Structure 1
Amino acid sequence: MCMLPRTMNSNPSNHRFCRYARSITKQLGTMRILRPKLSLQWWLTATAMIVATTLCAHILWDTVFAVDAGNAASLRKMNIQHDEYAQTSPDVFLQNETEFRWEKRNIAESNAKDISSSTAAKRLQKRRDWMQSVCRHLHHTEPVSKTARDSFNYFFDQRAAVCPIPKSGSSTWRKHLRIVNGGPHPSVPIYDDLRLIKIQKQPIKKIIKQLEQMPKIITVRHPLTRLVSCFRSKFNNGMPLRSYSPKREETLRKKRAGFTWPENFFAFWLPALIANDLLPQNYHRELNMTSPLNPDIRYNTSVYTAIYWRTRPRINFNQFLKLVITSHKEGKANAHWDTYYNRCSPCRFNYDFVTQIETLQDDLRYVFSVLKIPSSASLDENSSRNRHKTFRDFKKFKWLPKTMLADLKEIVWPDLQMFGYRWPSILD
């Protein structure tokens, strides 16, 4: 009912106003009812759309990454099963992470005290298979005749051969050989064994045929840690080299065979001085010599003594590596830093056992049990060496010039790939 003042009720227009007011009031009442209903419907719709969008996003995300994970798993499976490599560039082998995972796993297993023979057998078999797969694609001519005649030692009664590599457990192998073969005395070089000399005098074809018919062992280590070991041993870890003392030399020779002071000067120190231009110019004239000093000539001890007191040699790590690289380029690498494939021809002689310094004791325990070699696997001529500081050794190469590092990588690359080692990532 439209409530108007009494003065307005008698006017017909006032009735129209009341009808209009009632109409407006009715419409407003309807809107008050519909507004909460429309508002609630809108919020429910919006919420449903957000939930649906989130679910779709999650499904799409999981689908994409599941496909990627499936592809990665398939790729890893292909890498493991695929042992034929169409390329031999360093990058191809170094990027193949999958093939090296077994090495890390087996090194961890070998540190256990109660390692089983089956684990050692599998580890050694994998190394052998890996070496053979790399050899199939490594186009390199190995000095087979030189290796057969000069590099092998023998356990004569067991008819087994080993190729000792300097700075890769060779001292330990010499000790095993002396124990098992009954000599020679530690003061006598192992290569002076009369039985070994008799074998070496045979025709080369006969030597190779004999080697092919007997089990063969090779021991290696990471090529870069081997270089660091050589630097510490032969160049006194960068400290001043010792002077000549006849009494000291005589005492040492009575105890054990090894490099004498003049032999060290001839094999290591003089070549390093010449390769790094550390000798005074025309110094040979001071020594009353008609021609410059030649690292290939073995001089009298007095010449080396004069050079020592004139230069007081001290070779740092970079200078040592310059000698290594120069000697390799000239084809005159010393046995202490020559490559494994040059020293032992692993692609020509199908080695039955590939042992490594990093797991040497466990490897030898298995090898000695199989070949019936009566020696203790725990014997270690250099037991003081720390085999768990490889990262510290790698850091010594970090400050090399890039050109020198590239030359060094080219030299050690075949050894790295053949024996399952990796180029350190900190050097890239």
Structure 2
Amino acid sequence: MFKKKCIAIAIGYMALFGIFVLMKLNLDIKAIFVSYTTRIVPKDLMPQMPGTTIGFVQELNNRRRKTIKEFCAGSEVPALNETITRWSNMEVNSRPRIFYSDSMKLIVCDTPRCGTNRWRNLMLIMDGHLPGYEAGPDDNFGMSKKNNFVWSKFNPKTESQTNDFGDKLHNYYKIMITREPLQRLVSAYREKLETNANGFYSGISKKIHSAVNPDSPSGLATFEEFIDYILSTKRRIELDPHWKPFSELCDPCNINYDYIAKTETLHDDSQVITGNIGISRDRIHNSTEYGRLQDGKSELYRKYYLVLDIKKRDAIFKYYKDQYDMFGYDYPDFISTGEFSKLG
């Protein structure tokens, strides 16, 4: 009897010890998860996780919009019609790259290499310019420029059209999409300049190569030549849209965008946006496509920059640094840790 009692007591202690171990393990797992989400993965770039709520995503957008307002606080925002008049005195390619849909009451700033093709395509379909199918990228842009591009439809030098455009800017739901700035450069280079796949841009690639290295044989631009070409361009507004900074494409200091989406979180962002404009997310979002952005792209894009010397890496980062600050991206880890070690 005594022996059985001792065994029972031992089993009880073992059970208590087991519960303690499980509780400790659970706490450790939670600690690891908290550490992961707060230190390793920037909160603003977290991919969708089970349990992500609409409220959490909306709060991210509020933080992004607040960051832009704080960045732009140094300059007083003029009246909307004054801004439109200022745009009218600029070359069309220097004005905000705005597409709109009357049927959806939606405005999208087109930021190439960030996933805006699908939005332009949806506008064409919803406004009756496409019979329910997807156009290829070239057809998409050509048709969108004809039917949905603001500057193809409005003459901002006339008062009535300025007022009409101002009403749309004030009342339509406005979105823009960003992407990690230097990663976007690699995407643009690989897609447009690295090969002869695109006839128009392969011509630009050869011109960049000749301009940077005039004494070398003709050929396509290397990535380093591409970077040198960008660094030699003093007025960023003159850059091609595929590598022009977001602030030059969308003028977010003068357009109060309702939603600032990011390519890295578009799975969640699109759910909120489509809910706000009253369409199904299936009309715009391909989770597989955007999921691929998380698979190996970060390491791939770093390899392009690591072939550059540290001074050139710092220089190209400094060229786009305001985009990191304005849109809340962490600085890349391949720049010098001296001058750029602190955020902000």
- Could you state the TM-score of these two structures normalised by the residue count of structure 1? 0.56
Please say if 1:160 is aligned against 2:106.
yes
Letter in 2 for 1:157: S
SS at structure 2 position matched to 1:364: helix
CA displacement, residues 280-304 of structure 1 (integer Å, 9 cap, x when unaligned): 6xxxxxxxxxxxxxxxxxxxxxxxx
2:168 pairs, out of 191, 210, 213, with 210
2:196 pairs, out of 241, 244, 250, with 241
* Greater CA drift, 115-124 or 177-186: 177-186
Aligned partner of 2:15 in structure 1 is: none
Please say if 1:175 is aligned against 2:133.
no
2:253 pairs, out of 335, 347, 354, with 347
Aligned-pair distance for 1:147? 8.0
Q: 1:405 to 1:197 in 2, by over 3 A?
A: closer
Aligned-pair distance for 1:316? 1.8
Q: CA RMSD in A?
A: 3.4
Is contact 2:64-2:328 (8 Å) kept?
yes
Q: Name the CA distance, whole Å, in 2 between partners of 1:200 and 1:270.
A: 35
Q: Name the CA distance, whole Å, in 1 between partners of 2:127 and 2:287.
A: 17
Following superposition of structure 1 onto structure 2, how do residues 381-400 of structure 1 map, counting pairs within 5 Å? Answer: 385-388=292-295, 389-400=297-308
Is contact 1:172-1:379 (8 Å) kept?
no
Name which one, 1 or 2, has greater alpha-carbon Rg: 1
SS at structure 2 position matched to 1:427: coil
Aligned-pair distance for 1:121? 1.0
Is contact 2:95-2:249 (8 Å) kept?
no
Is contact 2:107-2:175 (8 Å) kept?
yes
Q: Name the CA distance, whole Å, in 2 between partners of 1:322 and 1:205.
A: 39
Is contact 1:180-1:373 (8 Å) kept?
no
Is contact 1:144-1:345 (8 Å) kept?
no
Q: Name the CA distance, whole Å, in 2 between partners of 1:348 and 1:210.
A: 14
Q: 1:420 to 1:116 in 2, by over 3 A?
A: same
Aligned partner of 2:60 in structure 1 is: 123
Aligned-pair distance for 1:400? 1.8
CA displacement, residues 215-258 of structure 1 (integer Å, 9 cap, x when unaligned): 2101000001100100110123xxx535xxxxxxxxxxxxxxxx
SS at structure 2 position matched to 1:363: helix
Aligned partner of 1:273 in structure 2 is: 209
Q: Name the CA distance, whole Å, in 2 between partners of 1:393 and 1:139.
A: 37
Is contact 1:155-1:181 (8 Å) kept?
yes
Aligned-pair distance for 1:369? 0.3
Aligned partner of 1:199 in structure 2 is: 153
Aligned partner of 1:107 in structure 2 is: 45
Q: Name the CA distance, whole Å, in 2 between partners of 1:373 and 1:407.
A: 43
SS at structure 2 position matched to 1:115: coil
SS at structure 2 position matched to 1:162: strand
CA displacement, residues 70-123 of structure 1 (integer Å, 9 cap, x when unaligned): xxxxxxxxxxxxxxxxxxxxxxxxxxxxxx979823533x41245321111111
Please say if 1:378 is aligned against 2:252.
no
Aligned partner of 2:22 in structure 1 is: none
Q: Name the CA distance, whole Å, in 2 between partners of 1:140 and 1:399.
A: 41
Q: Name the CA distance, whole Å, in 1 between partners of 2:266 and 2:179.
A: 10
Q: Name the CA distance, whole Å, in 2 between partners of 1:174 and 1:328.
A: 30
Structure 1 runs of 4+ aligned residues shifted over 4 Å read: 100-103, 138-150, 194-198, 328-331, 380-385
Which has the higher relative contact order, 1 or 2, with Cα contacts under 8 A spaced 6 or more apart?
1
Letter in 2 for 1:170: T
Please list every run of 5 or more consecutive structure 1 residues that lacks an aligned counterpart in the other structure.
1-99, 243-259, 281-309
Is contact 2:193-2:202 (8 Å) kept?
no
Aligned partner of 2:4 in structure 1 is: none
SS at structure 1 position matched to 2:279: coil
SS at structure 2 position matched to 1:176: helix
Q: Name the CA distance, whole Å, in 1 between partners of 2:166 and 2:206.
A: 36
Q: Name the CA distance, whole Å, in 2 between partners of 1:195 and 1:335.
A: 15
SS at structure 2 position matched to 1:168: coil
SS at structure 2 position matched to 1:128: helix
1:232 pairs, out of 179, 190, 193, with 190
